[in-house]
Amino acid sequence: LDAILQEYEKEEKRAPVAVILGHHPAFFLSCCCLTPFGNNDYQTAAAFLGEPLGLTPSESWGENFLVPADAEIVIEGEVPPGVRETQNPFGEILGYYQAPCEMPVIEVTAITHRRSAIMQDIFPGHTDHWNLGGMPKEGSVFNVIQRNVPGVRAVHLPPSGCGRLSCYIAIEKRFDNEPQKAAMAAFVEMPNLKLAIVVDSDVDVFDEREVLWAVNTRTWWDRDLQVLDRVQSFRGWLGSSVALIDATVPEGGSYPERNGIPEEALARIGVEGILGKEVG
Amino acid sequence: LDAILQEYEKEEKRAPVAVILGHHPAFFLSCCCLTPFGNNDYQTAAAFLGEPLGLTPSESWGENFLVPADAEIVIEGEVPPGVRETQNPFGEILGYYQAPCEMPVIEVTAITHRRSAIMQDIFPGHTDHWNLGGMPKEGSVFNVIQRNVPGVRAVHLPPSGCGRLSCYIAIEKRFDNEPQKAAMAAFVEMPNLKLAIVVDSDVDVFDEREVLWAVNTRTWWDRDLQVLDRVQSFRGWLGSSVALIDATVPEGGSYPERNGIPEEALARIGVEGILGKEVG
Amino acid sequence: LDAILQEYEKEEKRAPVAVILGHHPAFFLSCCCLTPFGNNDYQTAAAFLGEPLGLTPSESWGENFLVPADAEIVIEGEVPPGVRETQNPFGEILGYYQAPCEMPVIEVTAITHRRSAIMQDIFPGHTDHWNLGGMPKEGSVFNVIQRNVPGVRAVHLPPSGCGRLSCYIAIEKRFDNEPQKAAMAAFVEMPNLKLAIVVDSDVDVFDEREVLWAVNTRTWWDRDLQVLDRVQSFRGWLGSSVALIDATVPEGGSYPERNGIPEEALARIGVEGILGKEVG
Amino acid sequence: LDAILQEYEKEEKRAPVAVILGHHPAFFLSCCCLTPFGNNDYQTAAAFLGEPLGLTPSESWGENFLVPADAEIVIEGEVPPGVRETQNPFGEILGYYQAPCEMPVIEVTAITHRRSAIMQDIFPGHTDHWNLGGMPKEGSVFNVIQRNVPGVRAVHLPPSGCGRLSCYIAIEKRFDNEPQKAAMAAFVEMPNLKLAIVVDSDVDVFDEREVLWAVNTRTWWDRDLQVLDRVQSFRGWLGSSVALIDATVPEGGSYPERNGIPEEALARIGVEGILGKEVG
Amino acid sequence: LDAILQEYEKEEKRAPVAVILGHHPAFFLSCCCLTPFGNNDYQTAAAFLGEPLGLTPSESWGENFLVPADAEIVIEGEVPPGVRETQNPFGEILGYYQAPCEMPVIEVTAITHRRSAIMQDIFPGHTDHWNLGGMPKEGSVFNVIQRNVPGVRAVHLPPSGCGRLSCYIAIEKRFDNEPQKAAMAAFVEMPNLKLAIVVDSDVDVFDEREVLWAVNTRTWWDRDLQVLDRVQSFRGWLGSSVALIDATVPEGGSYPERNGIPEEALARIGVEGILGKEVG
Amino acid sequence: LDAILQEYEKEEKRAPVAVILGHHPAFFLSCCCLTPFGNNDYQTAAAFLGEPLGLTPSESWGENFLVPADAEIVIEGEVPPGVRETQNPFGEILGYYQAPCEMPVIEVTAITHRRSAIMQDIFPGHTDHWNLGGMPKEGSVFNVIQRNVPGVRAVHLPPSGCGRLSCYIAIEKRFDNEPQKAAMAAFVEMPNLKLAIVVDSDVDVFDEREVLWAVNTRTWWDRDLQVLDRVQSFRGWLGSSVALIDATVPEGGSYPERNGIPEEALARIGVEGILGKEVG
């Protein structure tokens, strides 16, 4: 966006802008793509949708600037060159207000919308924001870990870490060093990660209570926690150190077996139909 | 129970026993009381109920041994002197199986129950067990902390710590050392505690996600985490070290303000009626 | 005192003051009591004395202001409202000079005394000050420790720690974690404590040489010393960290037995009559 | 002694022995000398005495074996070749019993003594033993430190460390690293040292209370204590790690001044004649 | 090799083997390839050579088993099924002897060689072995680091670390955390790495003296060294912990500039022609 | 030099100076001597040479100021009183430029030299400087260590540490604590030492690759590395902490034996004549 704006400002022209509020989820996922400058973003959206994206002339600029035909709301406007106003404090993803800064402005020229249009938005620094932030990265962290720890089974970037500050990793451990290898791989890959907890594959990393239960019953704080300094390059108030917690059952020890209900007993009474899935 | 049993065994007599499955919750809370030997437990239950406890002659011993009249199920039986059988492995509160050991047995003499009786039980090492285990202690930990940290606001022993291994403490901090004082007080008081997390009073300690959000955004691992060895005397597999995490905002820093919605805005749109309480 | 003074200053009146130098020790102990504002301090003193406190009209205000009849010296005076002069540098309890600050003044109106009156005072930042400072707290620290470490046997706040910076604790240890529990309890309870040394009950905590002998022969510095940061909230030059030293004999080891003289041998030769009690 | 005994045993002869209990202190100091095998010990004693040592024929062997003429008690005897009996448990210098071991025996042939002879002995593992053990080493530790820390002022090996486990060092500090240099020099030089405390030269290292007062008011445990492993090679139960405590006032800080009494005030009232020397 | 041998052993047949001592370096590099079972290794060698590999019938099996025509020495032999003899102790790559183990044997059937044949071999656990071991991995470590630290400039696995135990990394640092990121990436990627040293790009990582000069003049041991446990899964005597040394100049400090000779001065006197390249 | 100059400046006289470039190495070694003020430096040189030093009248002052007759180059000049010019930035021994400072100047009065004179100089902050800096100290460090670790075999102050920042020590270890004792002795003795590595006597401390090989294969970073703060008093950018690395084989373990070639095999093939000495 910045590059387009700069081109218009160089010629002292007003840049046309259309803000799309509400469309097919695939449309929004396409917006998260990092594509090279000059890319046709409507075609990228079409690729995500798996069908052509319906377009229509805009109110403001007609055929010179097409807008999606099926959007809930379209705000058309123009960015005047050289104008800046103070943006912020608004909430950011980590749940705190950002410091004010100067930003370009849009002068709205038209608003079109469907009847009873539904505006879909993300609430910054809340659960939906965190889910959306973490989910797309879980796959890439999983892949990086798997290169050196083939027994990795699941990776979760939970909302409690805003989808980027903490990471839960489940592995089938073959060697005592694999929790450290898995955690280090995650720290190398993710620029904001501060906490990595590695659990055995009997623990559901998507259930935070279960992850903490593993930490509470399997971690010796003097043996299984390691802190490393200057691993991340944060804004000052977040620090730069990270923590690795190995919450896997240690090799070779006589660890007690986890509570469980025999498969046959469960099958006999059909307990899942009654209770649903239970935690510990 | 052991003391009563020993008296019967000394005289080589069979000890009468009645197991009550299902009654008023106040009846069960009265059972958690630690009362001196010789106490009349039925009167204790009556005190909890706030009214006399209905009693009725037992099937097995008639007027010699009364049982609650309003129980769902009553199992009557006798413990033969000197007989022991192997109990366990059964699940214990931490979520693992206990090692087998020798225990007395009950020879059942009668079972009485209401029509469509509802048997109420605790599922050992699962959520209801952990809630029941933690809740009664939260108050006493709160009181101990308050002696030296008057700004303590809330204490939670979450299910993820089985109601005893971890503790979340919210305080209004006046001095930088109060998180440590509060955590140490909890470790002194609780014989099984391995992890104490102290947060500011803007954090809801009963919402685990919010506690972890505070840890992830406010804790510097190289500054705010401290580990102490040989603080607890556990069964070997649990270790003896503990961790203190100070997740409060540091004094005197220019910490960003937390995201929030102005009271007046909330009031104007009546958002609570629509969304309910939200996390972050 | 401050509250009384403020009342007088509000009305721009001069506050009468009597300074008592030298009286029965029970009189002075009564002065260390923290009693609510409005308390009759002369009655408190009488309670400590176990008999009525003799009073007599003052020189300056007659029956309007009684003073103790049996004091060695009485200095009567008035505090003029709104007047402040620089107090300090005087020595404080830790053995250093305090920074200057503004304080009210007394204008002396009369001095009365017994013939050959003995003025009793405390020498700030010296032994008598430290003994008086530490002694009254030893009991309360003992009680707090005993709640969780029933085997506590003795607690000493030695003059070398000015009666508040260091604490020696003797326990009959049942579990390896009890020295830590005892020390942590002391740190929670005492706002100035920086060092806690825990010894076995064969060591006399009131004999500093013996406590250090235990540290020197029983402590492994890499195993038995733990440091915790930000536990106290001091004036800057004292730091905020504390040290726990476990100088008890470790469980289960084959520790050599301490030198000793058989009871019967001592009895036979009556050595105590000759040598008195000896250290190591 | 061992070398002499071996020569006699090789020829299956009985070795003559004289035990001297009670003589001039210089005689005993001469016994602490490490002199080469074949040395004339009587002449060494004479050198210490500063005059010839009076000798007289022994009861058992006459002119063949002279004994001191001025001893309080002389026990003469012979060590039979090849005979060993169990010695110990006796108390050793650290205050614990030694394990039993096999040692040669003396068969007493004669005991001579002065009228009302006074037997002078050291009580092993008690104060006199510790003073005697520590004193001779203080000078050599002082010299070693002075090579690299010219401002060293005093060194004490206190009885609480049995004259060898702990060391108090006073220096006039020019650089912040000198306490560490001084302590390290002591650890290199002394084979049993476990604890070194370095204080400023205003602290009297021979007054243990004052040394601890400096530790309690000047040491930050997180900054001024350092532990090093495997520095000493002890019997197992003593560990191998050592602690360095820097209890000097830090450079460049605005440390409060120590309480003191102006010289002129002291001179005026002649307080030393009344009170003697006072601690803090 | 093992797979082929097993097939022969299953049919109780003797496996033909040809050992090639001395050939074109490309031939040997082709042997380091990990190719799937069933691969035609002669064709792989041809691909490395960039031309067809000359083959000739073997002495022992004629056209049934071809051997390279241009080898310096060819040893032909057969592996009898089921026979094992003790191999080792021979030296291994780390410079120590391996423990003995049971291995199959070759019964030599023929040896052919060129006139004045040159046998080329690697001396296990010496410089050529270490160079050959480290070189091929330097590229892959470089690539892994570059993913997250784009300023990486060079990677060396020096002979002093046997080509696998230590790693020197040069980066153009943009942020203070990049040395840690680079080192962690290397530890994740390399299964034997124990030590990673990260230097600025002005340091030549292939010159060990220069790397150590950077460590000695730029590393603060209390700030720039970090140790992490259980990162590698070694044979016991090697331990499992690793060290990260950040030997880069810290950000924002006023570090002195490195000695150097102005380009123009060097050019003027043509010093390189005289001295060759010099170290520090 | 400074003392001589001050005398001349006091009388506002010009001080004569002769700079000798190129002479017998013994002449230069004599210049490194620290001799008292007033010493005849020419006689010191003669003592090093073992014969009289040839002198000749100077060009500038004739018989009043003699200069060496056998010097390659002699620069004669005078230092005018009270004149100072900016010296630096020039390179210093650690390999960095020094900050500028004001220094006296020489006004050259004559230059004499031999035909084809060779100017011998040290290149500051490069190898010859470092060798010259380290070599003379190796002996004194060796002697200091030997006092308490008699098994010390060799000490090297390598060029990579500029002859003063790092030290390699080889010992025949009798007890597990001797590497620490040896390293501490070196730190006490040398005012700039930051790193001490202790190896077994099978390692050649003058071969840096071999020292690092010992570190890489024998050091456990979590067990054998110790860091101590405030041991040296450096210019700020060098820090004050030091590292001790114990790279000796641990006592009592079953460490594998080092690769080697049997003496008899070497003798038989005369390999030294062919290969020279090999590293690992």
Q: Which residues pair with C73 in a beta bridge?
A: C21, C113
Least confident of A168-177, E76-85, F15-24, F254-263: F254-263
Q: How far apart are CA D244 and CA F231, in angstroms?
A: 11
Q: Is B228 helix (H, G, I), strand (E, B) or coil?
A: strand
Contacting residues of A for E233, CB less than 8 Å apart: 175-178
Testing the interface with D: which of C122, C222, C271 to mutate, by most D Cβ within 10 A? Answer: C222
Are D181 and F229 within 8 A, CB to CB?
no
The answer on pLDDT for C277 being more than 70 is no
Write down the ipTM of this complex. Answer: 0.84
User: Using one digit for the tens of pLDDT, what is the confidence trace for E129-140?
Assistant: 887 778 878 988
Which chains are within 8 Å of E by 3+ CB pairs? A, F
Interatomic CA distance for residues F273 and F271, integer angstroms: 5
Cα E29 from chain centroid (whole Å): 12
Q: Over the stretch F181-219, which tens digit does the pLDDT of each residue have?
A: 999 999 999 999 999 999 999 999 999 999 999 999 999
Neighbour subunits, F (≥3 Cβ pairs < 8 A):
D, E
- Chain D residue with CA closest to C242: the answer is D221
Report the gap between the CA of D176 and the closest CA in chain C (Å).
Answer: 16
- To the nearest whole angstrom, how far is the Cα of D175 from the nearest Cα of chain C? 19
Give residue-wise pLDDT tens across range A66-117. 999 999 999 999 999 999 999 888 888 899 998 888 999 999 999 999 999 9
**Mean pLDDT in residue range C91-107:** 90
- Specify whether the CB–CB gap between F72 and F115 falls below 8 A: no
Set of chain C residues whose Cβ sits within 8 Å of the Cβ of D195: 215-216, 221
State mean pLDDT over C233-260: 88
Residue B271 has a pLDDT of 59
The percent of residues in chain C predicted with pLDDT above 90, rounded, is 63
Name every residue whose Cβ is closer than 8 Å to that of residue D52 and which is 6 or more positions away in sequence.
D46
pLDDT of residue A182: 98
Percent of chain A with pLDDT over 70: 94
Residue F275 pLDDT > 50, yes or no? yes
Task: Quote the CA–CA distance of D81 and D12 in Å, as a whole number.
Answer: 6
Residue with tokens 């199992």: B75
SS3 C207: coil
The whole-angstrom distance between F210's CA and the closest CA on chain D is: 25
Structure confidence at residue B32 (pLDDT)? 67
pLDDT value, residue C211: 98
Chains F and A touch (3+ CB pairs under 8 A): no
Euclidean distance between CA atoms D173 and D152, whole angstroms: 8
Chain-chain contact of A230 with E189 (C-beta, under 8 angstroms): no
Q: Note whether F126 contacts E161, CB cutoff 8 Å.
A: no
CA distance A243 to A224: 10
Chain F residue closest to E207 (CA)? Answer: F160
Contact state of C160 with D213 under an 8 Å Cβ cutoff:
yes
Instruction: Check CB contact under 8 Å for A187 and E185.
Output: no
Categorise residue F156: left if φ over 0, alpha if ψ from -120 to 50, beta otherwise: beta
What pLDDT score was predicted for residue A29? 75
F231 to D187: CB separation less than 8 angstroms, yes or no: no
Closest CA to E155 of E225, E203, E205, E114: E205
Asked if E184 lies within 8 A of A184 by C-beta distance, the reply is: yes
C111: pLDDT strictly greater than 90: yes
Residues in chain F: 280
Distance from CA of E164 to the nearest CA of A (A): 16
pLDDT digit string (tens) for B201-221? 999 999 999 999 999 999 999
Contact across the interface for B230 and C184, Cβ inside 8 Å: no
Residue whose token pair is 């032994």: C127
Higher pLDDT among residues A236 and D180, named by residue: D180
Q: Is the pLDDT of residue D159 over 90?
A: yes
Residues pairing with D75 in the sheet? D19, D111
The β-bridge relationship of strands A195-200 and A166-171 is parallel
Read off the pLDDT of residues E43-98 as tens digits, 9 standing for 90 and up. 989 998 999 999 999 999 999 999 999 999 999 999 999 999 998 888 888 999 98
Q: Which residue of E has its CA nearest to F128?
A: E280
Residue tagged 């505690």 (tokens): B193
Strand, coil or helix: A212: helix
Exposure on the CB side of residue A13, measured as CA atoms within 13 A: 10
Q: Do B214 and B199 form a contact (C-beta atoms < 8 A)?
A: yes
Confidence grade of residue B25 (pLDDT, cut at 50, 70, 90): confident
Count Cβ atoms within 10 A of the Cβ of residue A231 and give its class: 0-12 exposed, 13-18 middle, 19 or more buried: buried
Cα angle at C65 between C63 and C69, to 5 degrees?
Answer: 85
Q: Closest Cα to residue B194, out of B152, B225, B165?
A: B165
CA–CA distance, C231 with C194 (Å, rounded to integer): 8
The span from the first CA to the last CA of chain E, in angstroms, equals: 48
The answer to whether F153 touches F170, Cβ cutoff 8 Å, is yes
Confidence (pLDDT) at C272: 58
Q: Do chains E and D touch (3 or more CB pairs under 8 A)?
A: no
Whether residues F216 and E208 touch (CB distance < 8 A) is answered with: no
DSSP A225-268: EEEESS-S---GGG-S-EEEEE-SPPTTS-PPPBP---HHHHHH
What pLDDT shows up at residue B280?
A: 40
- The lowest-confidence range among A12-21, B125-134, B185-194, F178-187 is B125-134
The helix (run of H) or strand (run of E) holding residue E111 is strand E107-113
Of D41 and C183, more confident: C183
What gap in Å lies between CA C92 and CA D258, rounded to an integer? Answer: 9
